[in-house]
Amino acid sequence: MQDERRQELTDRFRELAEYLNRQLHTGRLDEWEDLDMTIPQIKTLVLLERVGPLRMGNIAIYLGRALSATTTVMDRLVEKGLVDRVSDPNDRRVVICKLTEPGELAINRFWQIGRERLDGLADLLDDEELTTVVKALEAIRRAENEIQRTYASLQSTISQDSPAA
């Protein structure tokens, strides 16, 4: 019986998380159109915002895309003035991709849309409800961070076990 209750709660959690995710991102879809960018371009900007300047090959690995596809996406972002390619000071043969100031502004605008939506939701909750929601989301963040640490540890182990090419 305990397992059935746990499964029911897990199902409800997943359904509610998916619903919230869809609702929060619906407004962003129009904003993406205004930014005139593809989803791979936005994913690339988000990656550079979160991780910082990266080599092209690392961007391809992070996003799980072929290097040629990543280069095409990066070419478009450079044309739009959102990303710059610069030489690595330690090895001039290596190109590093980084956000430009307009790129930072574009990604900040992208996130701002979600923040505005969340502020509106928070305004509709009383203090007790908001406290409960914040505690629940903090628990989800802790669990997600644990998943990320585990994933990073597995990736590190796989890399160490792989034969050198």
Please tell me the distance from the alpha carbon of residue 123 to that of residue 8, in angstroms, as a whole number.
30
C-alpha pair distances (Å), 24 with each of 41, 114, 121 = 20, 6, 10
Q: Which of 46-60, 64-78, 139-153 has the lowest mean pLDDT?
A: 139-153
Q: Would the pTM count as exceeding 0.75? A: no
What kind and span of H or E run contains 63? Answer: helix 56-63
For 20-48, the pLDDT digits (tens) are: 888 877 766 666 677 778 889 989 999 99
The amino acid that residue 10 corresponds to is: T
Counting residues of the chain whose pLDDT is more than 70, the rounded percentage is 90
The residue ranking higher by pLDDT, 46 or 155, is 46
Q: Which two tokens stand for residue 148?
A: 């990320």
